[in-house]
Structure 1
């Protein structure tokens, strides 16, 4: 069965988990494994908060030169502890996804809900979120601090 142009899924394996993520595998193949699902797309995959991006967000190395109108590319060098391997693609961790969304000035309501759910589900601690945000700069730090204050209310 065809998933996309030149990408196929064997019928014997069509009932395996992750079939809903085929579009993310496609972008991993397109980038030759260099892209990492990130930002609000990662929040949605992790099922954190109310993020519902209309485009795929990918973080790529600074020397990455491919482009496609269907994706939003963010350039950064990611540490191995900021990335998780999934079936056929890589994705930023919940902590990294939250901090990069804060740095990108994602809607505060989206951040608030993602932080609350990450804490509630044990995917992150307050300290981890603050540290990750500090590494990405003042805008990220402010967004995460606001989300944590909202959760305290």
Structure 2
């Protein structure tokens, strides 16, 4: 015997939760509409406190458990384009921390966005314009972050101190997150100063680990 379908209100609640559950409790207005919530209902659920509006067209389920990474999910959804597709990738100093490659203490969040991106960064967010190919990003729960290799390349092009860069490169190679050969290949496409910084970081590796 087949199970009776859920009432409309329960079905849309289920669909919305499934979406929000993959995004630390966050969802967009368009995602809510796809789940069956009209725009008028958005206002209603914010009004009764079931949803919390966190940015233009971005909401959070009130009772969803807090997640350590939810700030990145929120910024990913904030960066969405006209097709509701997130544009920002967590990168640079922030990606170094997420990969446990640096203990840099920075309150600012670094994101890489396309050159055509026009939104103004929220307070505490640093935007870097550039292209991040699919192979240079990793999917996390509700957001993407640059791969360890791409993160180190970005670090070589940034004002990051040589000490922190050397340490990050050594840690990434030691833990098997990136191969020396991959970084040497990346050197060929870097500006001269960044290439020199990355090569210098590799020369600080113990001989057995550089091979």
Equivalenced residue count is 148
CA contact (8 A) 1:134 1:140 kept: no
User: Does 1:23 pair with 2:76?
Assistant: no
Q: What does the per-residue CA deviation read over 1:42-101, in whole Å, with 9 as the maximum and x for residues that have no partner?
A: 010011133333210000000001112321111111111111111000110000001101
User: Does 1:104 pair with 2:158?
Assistant: yes
User: Which protein has greater RCO, CA pairs closer than 8 Å, 6+ apart?
Assistant: 1
In structure 2, the CA distance between the partners of 1:104 and 1:10, relative to structure 1 (3 Å rule), is: same
TM-score, normalisation: structure 1? 0.87
The residue number in structure 2 matching 1:137 is 191
In structure 2, the CA distance between the partners of 1:110 and 1:4, relative to structure 1 (3 Å rule), is: farther
In structure 2, the CA distance between the partners of 1:4 and 1:111, relative to structure 1 (3 Å rule), is: farther
CA contact (8 A) 1:37 1:58 kept: yes
Measured after TM superposition, the shift of residue 26 of structure 1 is 0.9
The residue number in structure 2 matching 1:52 is 105
The residue number in structure 2 matching 1:39 is 92
In structure 2, the CA distance between the partners of 1:141 and 1:7, relative to structure 1 (3 Å rule), is: same
In 2, Cα distance between the equivalents of 1:8 and 1:109? 42
In 1, Cα distance between the equivalents of 2:153 and 2:137? 13
The residue number in structure 2 matching 1:65 is 118
The residue number in structure 1 matching 2:176 is 122
TM-score, normalisation: structure 2? 0.64
RMSD of aligned residue pairs (Cα, Å): 2.1
Question: Match of 1:58, SS?
Answer: strand
Measured after TM superposition, the shift of residue 144 of structure 1 is 1.1
Measured after TM superposition, the shift of residue 3 of structure 1 is 8.3
